[in-house]
Amino acid sequence: MDAAKALLSLQAAEWPTYVDLIPTTFGTGSEVTRFATVYDIEGRKQSVLLPASTMVRVHYRPELLCTLPDLEVRAGFCDAFAHCFESLWARNATPESVELATAGMRIGMKILHNWGSRTDEHFRALQNMGRLGGQAISLTKTTAAHALSYEWTQKWSIPHGFAAAAALPSLHSFCRDRAPGQRSLWIQARAMGARNPAEVHDHLLHVIQFLIPADVRWRLSQAIRSGRVQAPCPDRLANFPMVLSPSLINQLDGQTAMDLDVNACSAFVIKQEGGAGDGMRITPPAEPMNPACP
Ligand SMILES: [Fe+2]
């Protein structure tokens, strides 16, 4: 889809063009954005914009996702999850983007509770979550988690969704420690069905430990510990609610590496249900969210 959009971006703006997109994966939200992500000859990420005269038509066929390898499903979910989560705390957030991202997060939590299902309904939900996350970030853009993650994907070939989601717990804890009253932290908590931001942090740890395979987590933590070679994308960092200096980024990277190693959390219980093929299920906390949260 991005290749098609990148080619169309080269067309003269006055030529009306139609492009029909049929996603066979999910998570990037590429089908609902006007941007195409491409890499230049030196491996740097670039965004190119579709001309206003190009009309995009999207045809969702969830049954086409049924042959996706498990790793792709996990990475796609993590990417869509990061889009929704980050969009909620983005400086550019609007009431519309919050609504879209909240809807995407809610679908995501339901998917997690039934992880392992391979029905068309399940894939439709994954595509819906991906679409909502894509629509949300097309309004807000992504933030620090994506900015920090690009190097891990480019240099170490960590799948994009895993790399972006891995940075969420440390960034969330950073925000919670420095500005605990931030409204977006509570919006995220509501969207995830958590009682408070502290519980969100536990959920995030479980999401990355549950969805990112152990060998990928090990590779990623090693990659992070080897240090950065380039500064993270400044415009995405600037869209994060807190200012991140290079030394803070170092500290956050260290915490992310530790988060990838940790194997304990109290808020979510992950248990195996049924026999082979039934997959893992996440049991949400029994108590309802505190309605009095600000
Ligand atoms: Fe992404």
Looking at residue 188, which CATH number applies to its domain? 1.20.1090.10
Overall number of domains in the chain: 2
If you measure from the C-alpha of residue 208 to the centroid of ligand 1, how many angstroms do you get, rounded to a whole number?
A: 15
The Cβ of residue 176 has, within 10 Å, a number of other Cβ atoms equal to 17
Q: Is residue 224 part of a domain?
A: yes
Q: Is residue 287 part of a domain?
A: no
Residue where one domain finishes, among candidates 11, 31, 62: 62
Structure tokens at 200: 């969100």
Q: Rounded distance, CA 237 to CA 242, Å?
A: 9
- β-strand pairing of 17-21 with 54-58: parallel
Residues 171 and 237 in one domain: yes
If you measure from the C-alpha of residue 15 to the centroid of ligand 1, how many angstroms do you get, rounded to a whole number?
A: 30
If you measure from the C-alpha of residue 27 to the centroid of ligand 1, how many angstroms do you get, rounded to a whole number?
A: 7
Residues 99 and 235 in one domain: yes
If you measure from the C-alpha of residue 126 to the centroid of ligand 1, how many angstroms do you get, rounded to a whole number?
A: 15
If you measure from the C-alpha of residue 160 to the centroid of ligand 1, how many angstroms do you get, rounded to a whole number?
A: 7
Residue where one domain finishes, among candidates 62, 79, 96: 62
Residues 140 and 217 in one domain: yes
Residues 120 and 167 in one domain: yes
> From first to last of its 294 residues, what are the pLDDT tens digits of the chain?
999 999 988 887 777 888 999 999 999 999 999 889 888 888 777 888 888 888 999 999 999 999 999 999 999 999 999 999 999 999 999 999 999 999 999 999 999 988 988 899 999 999 999 999 999 999 999 999 999 999 999 889 999 999 999 999 999 999 999 988 899 999 999 999 999 999 999 999 999 999 999 999 999 999 999 999 988 989 899 999 999 999 999 999 999 999 998 764 444 444 333 333 333 344 433 333 333 322
Q: Is residue 151 part of a domain?
A: yes
Residues 250 and 267 in one domain: yes
> In one letter, which amino acid is 140?
T
If you measure from the C-alpha of residue 28 to the centroid of ligand 1, how many angstroms do you get, rounded to a whole number?
A: 5
Q: Is residue 94 part of a domain?
A: yes
Q: Is residue 265 part of a domain?
A: yes
CA atoms within 13 A on the CB side of 128: 16
Q: Is residue 288 part of a domain?
A: no
Residues 107 and 225 in one domain: yes
If you measure from the C-alpha of residue 9 to the centroid of ligand 1, how many angstroms do you get, rounded to a whole number?
A: 21
If you measure from the C-alpha of residue 78 to the centroid of ligand 1, how many angstroms do you get, rounded to a whole number?
A: 9
Q: Rounded distance, CA 16 to CA 50, Å?
A: 11
Domain extent for 155:
69-282
If you measure from the C-alpha of residue 135 to the centroid of ligand 1, how many angstroms do you get, rounded to a whole number?
A: 12
Residues 252 and 116 in one domain: yes
Residues 44 and 74 in one domain: no
If you measure from the C-alpha of residue 83 to the centroid of ligand 1, how many angstroms do you get, rounded to a whole number?
A: 6
If you measure from the C-alpha of residue 164 to the centroid of ligand 1, how many angstroms do you get, rounded to a whole number?
A: 7
Residues 74 and 51 in one domain: no
If you measure from the C-alpha of residue 94 to the centroid of ligand 1, how many angstroms do you get, rounded to a whole number?
A: 19
Tell me: the pLDDT tens digits for 11-45?
A: 877 778 889 999 999 999 999 998 898 888 887 77
Q: Is residue 291 part of a domain?
A: no
Q: Is residue 244 part of a domain?
A: yes
Residues 165 and 266 in one domain: yes
Give me the phi and psi of 134, to 5 degrees please.
-65, -40
The pTM for the full model equals: 0.87
**Ion ligand 1: protein residues whose beta carbon lies under 5 Å:** 79
- Count of residues for the chain? 294
Residues 100 and 241 in one domain: yes
Residues 106 and 211 in one domain: yes
